[in-house]
Amino acid sequence: MRETTRSRPLHSGDLDRSAAERHIAEAARACSNWGRWGADDVLGTLNFINTEKRIQAAGLIREGRTVSLALRFDMDGPQKGWRRRTNPVHTMLDTGTDAERGMQGFPHGIGGADDVVAMPLQCSTQWDGLGHIFDHGWAWNGRRAGEVVTSDGDLVTGIEHAADTLVSRGVLLDLGRHLHPETGELPDGHAITEGEIEGCIEAQGVSSQVGRGDILLVRTGQLSRVGPGAWGDYAGGPAPGLSFTTASWLHRSEVAAVATDTWGFEVRPNEFDQAFQPLHQVCIPNMGLTIGEMWNLEELARICADTGRYEFFLAAPPLPITGAVGSPINPIAVL
């Protein structure tokens, strides 16, 4: 088990932009959960979700109202080809035209349609699995990255292990509306701090309290100004997001998972002169935190603002794709 230091609040003013390596190493030690659930663990912080938590979540269903939190999976998605990430390609294998013309070879007039989709698993609304990010060659729970993920996939922490786990109490923190009520949107490059998170919780009220086993959803409002035909640099470009300094808060709060309405979860550009997704580097391989990206939180945010209630039953299981390091999802909030 890795020796850890006590996780303590880190403020943006504490960051030395030229010292990414040092800050990442310090946060990795302070926020490490290696060994916390045993040497064989494959779930990380999803272990915080238990039977009692799911029963609590079920009790939040009052109207039976459902809200999908997914973007559409189609050719008009946000991807631009970075690292071979493309939008879904949907192809029909059998069509109504084939059926009308009797080309399918079925008896007594029956016909049908079939289709296939080819897509990267992280091209739209998705979870990052624990095999998605490494820290200096180390994967979640102190395993060598090359022993975890090979050309055969994630042999240890594949996303299939979480297939029946990601059902819990969901909490929406609408930082866009809280910090910029006039527009409901945070500007690109805004780094959400621990103080801003706590301020949002206080402003939204008791239903926004965040604790062990919750699935935290953070709305920045970026999706309200982009979309099909107007994605711009949404995929990989500047964005509001969580500050690197929130790593200790995420660790202390013991949330099971976190998802945002942005491409990359954390603020972009990142807060160091030379760094790529440093909060990912701390949260996934060291903390064991499951991260969701590109969630559509717009309708849910409107409902929460209208009702003043920011907690709900949330079901967001990944597809059990054996050995995958991520999964497309259709998260459903039930109010």
- pLDDT higher than 60, residue 1: no
- pLDDT higher than 90, residue 9: no
pLDDT (0 to 100) of residue 77: 97
Residue where one domain finishes, among candidates 103, 118, 133: 118
The pLDDT confidence band at residue 14, using thresholds 50, 70 and 90, is: confident
Q: Considering the domain boundaries, does residue 203 fall inside one?
A: yes
Judgement on whether residues 54 and 190 belong to the same structural domain of the protein: yes
Q: pLDDT tens-digit profile of 32-91?
A: 999 999 999 999 999 999 999 999 999 999 999 999 999 999 999 999 999 899 999 999
pLDDT (0 to 100) of residue 221: 98
Q: Considering the domain boundaries, does residue 4 fall inside one?
A: no
Helix (H, G, I), strand (E, B), or coil: what is residue 131?
coil
- pLDDT higher than 80, residue 169: yes
The pLDDT confidence band at residue 12, using thresholds 50, 70 and 90, is: low
- pLDDT higher than 60, residue 125: yes
Residue where one domain finishes, among candidates 69, 103, 118: 118
pLDDT exceeding 90 applies to what percent of the chain?
95
pLDDT exceeding 70 applies to what percent of the chain?
96
Judgement on whether residues 59 and 114 belong to the same structural domain of the protein: no
Q: Considering the domain boundaries, does residue 135 fall inside one?
A: yes
Q: Considering the domain boundaries, does residue 2 fall inside one?
A: no
Judgement on whether residues 76 and 93 belong to the same structural domain of the protein: no
- Give the integer Cα–Cα distance in Å for 328 and 124: 7
Judgement on whether residues 104 and 240 belong to the same structural domain of the protein: no
- Give the integer Cα–Cα distance in Å for 260 and 295: 6
Q: Considering the domain boundaries, does residue 6 fall inside one?
A: no
Judgement on whether residues 103 and 196 belong to the same structural domain of the protein: no
Q: Considering the domain boundaries, does residue 1 fall inside one?
A: no
Judgement on whether residues 52 and 106 belong to the same structural domain of the protein: no
Any bridge partners for residue 126, and if so which? 293, 328
Q: Considering the domain boundaries, does residue 218 fall inside one?
A: yes
Range of the domain at 135: 12-80+120-334
The pLDDT confidence band at residue 253, using thresholds 50, 70 and 90, is: very high
Q: In this structure, are strands 167-174 and 215-219 parallel, antiparallel, or unpaired?
A: parallel
Residue where one domain finishes, among candidates 118, 138, 169: 118
Q: Considering the domain boundaries, does residue 7 fall inside one?
A: no
In 3D space, the residue among 317, 277, 279, 316 whose CA is nearest the CA of residue 296 turns out to be 316
Judgement on whether residues 247 and 100 belong to the same structural domain of the protein: no
- Neighbouring CB atoms inside 10 A of 152's CB total 8
Judgement on whether residues 54 and 128 belong to the same structural domain of the protein: yes
Q: How many domains does the chain have?
A: 2
Dihedral of alpha carbons 112, 118, 124, 125, sign: positive
Judgement on whether residues 132 and 99 belong to the same structural domain of the protein: no
Name the one residue in this structure whose structure tokens are 């969580």: 242
- Counting Cα atoms < 13 Å in the Cβ hemisphere of 205 gives 8
In this structure, what CATH number is given to the domain that contains residue 311? 3.50.30.50
Q: Say whether the peptide bond before residue 107 is cis (omega within 30 degrees of 0).
A: no
DSSP one-letter string for 45-80: GGGG--HHHHHHHHTT-SS--EEE-PPP-STTSS--
Judgement on whether residues 128 and 54 belong to the same structural domain of the protein: yes
Predicted TM-score of the model (pTM)? 0.95
Judgement on whether residues 166 and 301 belong to the same structural domain of the protein: yes
Summarize the confidence of residues 160-175 as an average pLDDT.
Answer: 98
> Beta strands of the chain (E only): which ranges?
66-68, 89-94, 114-118, 126-128, 138-139, 143-144, 149-150, 153-154, 167-174, 191-192, 215-219, 241-242, 257-260, 290-293, 311-315, 326-328, 332-334
Judgement on whether residues 103 and 227 belong to the same structural domain of the protein: no
